[in-house]
Amino acid sequence: MAANGWQRYPFLRLLMPLAVGIGCGDAFPHAFPMWEYGAVVLLLFFMISRYGRAGWGHGVTVFLLLGGIGFGLMSRQWEKTAFPFSGEAAVYKVCLREHPEEKERSLLCRVALLEEFRQDTMVRHARKHRFLAYFPKDSAAAALRRGDELLLYARLAPPVNGGNPNEFDYVRHLRRRGYSGTAYVAAGHWKKTGHDASRSLSQVAQDYREKVISLYRSLGFEGEVRAVLSALTVGDKEELDDELRETYSVAGASHVLALSGLHVGLLYALLWLLFSPWWRRWQRLKPLLLMLLGLLLASFAFFTGLSSSVVRSVVICLLLALGSLQSEKPLTLNTLAATAFLMLLCKPAWLFDVGFQLSFSAVAALVLVQPRLYALWQPENPLLRYVWGLLTVSVSAQLGTAPLVAFYFSRFSTHFLLTNLWVIPLVSLVLYSAVLLLLLTPFPFLQQAFAGVVEGLILLQNEGLRRIEQLPGAAADGIWLDVGGVLLLYLFLAMAYRGLLRRTSRNLFLALGALLAVAFWYTGSMLANAPCRSIAFYNVRGCPVVHCLTDSRRSWLVSPDTLPDVGRLRRALSPHWNRMRLEPPRLVAGDYSAPGLSVRNRMLFYAGKRICLLCDDRWRHKVASSPLPIDYLYISKGYRGGVEELTSLFSVGMVVLDASLSARYQEKIAGDCLRLGIPCLSLSRKGSYRIVL
């Protein structure tokens, strides 16, 4: 970007302070009362109108104004989700806003709070706070539908994090999506009282999406074929199993399962191809045909449930279509920044959406980098020209999104070029075939016959990706990046891009300086997060383990009973393990021996520490001549006794209570420890606990 390039991108200059303000509003949502935001914004607006030509002062004032607007918008989002939790169970009237979602052990219902009963008095909630309500899986809960109004008896609770290091911030995630908290509704503690048949535009769109999925079922699509077809066409990913998701992720094709810019772009290209011959012949038809193109894209967004990723992509394509009315380049970085600016004004929480960040970073890279890469070689053969264009698009998009992908998913797919050469043509064929399949609805016989073609294309696509997944070194896993690392990588990419545009010694030194900063950050991160000899207890429900770490990258996960839910453990703790750059921990259940570590009869010895893993009643009603000193008594689900009866067997240094224990039982054990003078730690309340040896 040239030195005076900022002048050519006014919306980019407006977007940056707005994004900074939104970020500050999310980090410090309750720093000031709302009336102070309004007063500051009015003051800044007055300063702009009064001193509008004051040079740099005008720019600073505009920056502060937009930053204040972003701060206020995000703070308002947090204020809307604030709810006065009482901590006690009560009777509430709620309405289901979406169709129930089946989970592994429960049924998730997204509800809006209508009324609350306090001491025989009905209190109406005008804001209709939203909650995630979990119902047990039974025949009564299975009959629930969107719009049902319920009376339920439950305890509304604010969302909480597990307290594990580097874990996903569940609290901020829910608050950004507009949810105030969660609730568990026991069987028999709710009753249906009515049904609200009114529907919002988004709910109508979701109903039509369900009709499309039902059509796929009636046409005989099953298993992974229906799962992929539903994800590609209407954005429904509920039927995708973990194995198929992993295949697409390792091969570097996860982006095709997330309905977004790729799919909208393919549909846009098809419509452009169909309409362009008409307006080339009759130029006056172009505005009308562009309106029709926009209507069809909006219809596609409607049938996909008006998801935010599709709406963003449709808006960009509509701006691109409108820009084609001008002779100059239709899509620029300024157009992209204008789209992001307007969308963040409407919904500031989108700034933290992974899809939002990936979409705009990919499109920005395509706008800036792809034309220059494509200009390096101009093959005359049409097939070579197509392949070269596809390669430049893949490389550009990968450059734009690689830091974010590594930050969010700790993975880099090394065969992304091969994957895109395979998957993008096939996804295009699948999407176009699916459109034709839906257009054949008035002709059931032809539609049923053509369904076999769509099924064959999806099976071919999946098989190719499985072959790529099996190639050596298909993905680099365990990557750790923090926000500082991401910003430094993007700084280096920006400086390198600037150096390629203007090959001067100054730009070269700037690029090398940014690269040196990245190297210093990586080295400092490795030194600061180097593993040390320690023992860790984690707060992961249903996964009681003791993590024994060495000074190297090796470690052991010792389970009191059978092997824990490895998938849940990795989802909760892999960011922390990646940060320390650990090798995959070795799972230990039962007796085991290794240099420096020993497990015998559920007694763990490591680095001079003795830990008793208590998960059954094997030590109850036993006697010993003298108590055995143990440093930690780790109690998990399965033990039904108390602590006092164990004092004749063990001299306990500390009791650690696993999150698998019920709240009532933890209170009982904590009371015993208080009476006996033994320190007690509850992981579900305090989070993880680490002992450095």
Does residue 1 carry a pLDDT above 60? no
Segments in 440-565 forming alpha helices (H) = 444-469, 483-501, 505-528
Given this model, what pLDDT does residue 271 score? 76
pTM summary value: 0.84
> What is the C-alpha separation between 62 and 44, in angstroms, rounded?
8
Question: How confident is the model over 103-121, as a mean pLDDT?
Answer: 84
**Cα distances (Å, whole numbers) of residue 37 to 41, 42, 43, 65, 68:** 6, 9, 10, 10, 7
Judged against a pLDDT cut of 60, whether residue 330 lies above it is answered with no
Mean pLDDT (whole number) for 136-158: 89
Residue for token pair 């009643």: 617
326 has pLDDT over 70: no
Dihedral class, residue 372 (left if φ above 0, else alpha if ψ from -120 to 50, else beta): alpha
Read off the pLDDT of residues 57-73 as tens digits, 9 standing for 90 and up.
566 677 777 888 888 88
Sign of CA dihedral 521, 524, 526, 528: negative
Q: Of 188, 155, 163, 159, whose CA–CA distance to 172 is shortest?
A: 159
Q: What percent of the chain has pLDDT over 70?
A: 91
State the alpha helices, DSSP H only, in 191-260: 201-218, 223-234, 242-251, 254-257
Over residues 362-400, the pLDDT tens digits come to: 888 888 888 888 888 888 888 888 888 888 888 888 888
Which residue has better confidence, 295 or 604?
Answer: 604
Between CA 422 and CA 457 the distance in angstroms is 12
Q: How confident is the model at residue 45 (pLDDT cuts 50, 70, 90)?
A: low
pLDDT for position 558 = 92
114 phi, psi to nearest 5 deg: -100, -50
3-state class of 462 per DSSP? Answer: helix
Average pLDDT over residues 679-685: 91
Is residue 657 within 8 Å of 683, Cβ to Cβ? Answer: yes
Domain ranges of the chain: 5-81, 90-198, 206-331+412-465, 483-528, 534-692
Most confident of the ranges 66-80, 312-326, 480-494: 480-494
Q: How confident is the model at residue 37 (pLDDT cuts 50, 70, 90)?
A: low
- CA triplet 200, 206, 208: central angle to 5 degrees? 110
pLDDT above 50 (res 507): yes
Q: What is the CATH number of domain 90-198?
A: 2.40.50.140
Non-local CB neighbours of 371 within 8 Å, separated by 6+ positions: none
Burial readout 568-601 (b: 16 or more C-beta within 10 A, e: otherwise): ebeebbbbbbbbbebeebeebbeeeeeeebebee
What rounded mean pLDDT belongs to the chain? 84
Neighbours of 625 (CB within 10 A): 5
Average pLDDT rounded to a whole number, residues 6-13: 76
| 555 three-class SS | strand
Instruction: Give the pLDDT of residue 267.
Output: 76
What average pLDDT score do residues 290-304 get?
A: 80
Judge contact between 309 and 257, C-beta under 8 A: no
- Per-residue confidence (pLDDT) for residue 2, from 0 to 100: 46
297 or 132: which carries more pLDDT confidence? Answer: 132
Burial of residue 548, with CB atoms counted within 10 A of its CB: 0-12 exposed, 13-18 middle, 19 or more buried? buried
**Distance between CA atoms of 649 and 624, rounded to whole angstroms?**
6
Q: pLDDT band at 274, cuts 50/70/90?
A: confident
Q: Average pLDDT, stretch 305-319?
A: 74
The predicted structure's pLDDT at residue 184: 92
Whole-number pLDDT of residue 521:
92
Strands in 56-189 per DSSP E? 90-96, 101-102, 106-118, 121-124, 130-136, 148-154, 179-184
Q: Mind listing the pLDDT tens digit for each residue in 515-536?
A: 999 999 989 988 888 889 999 9
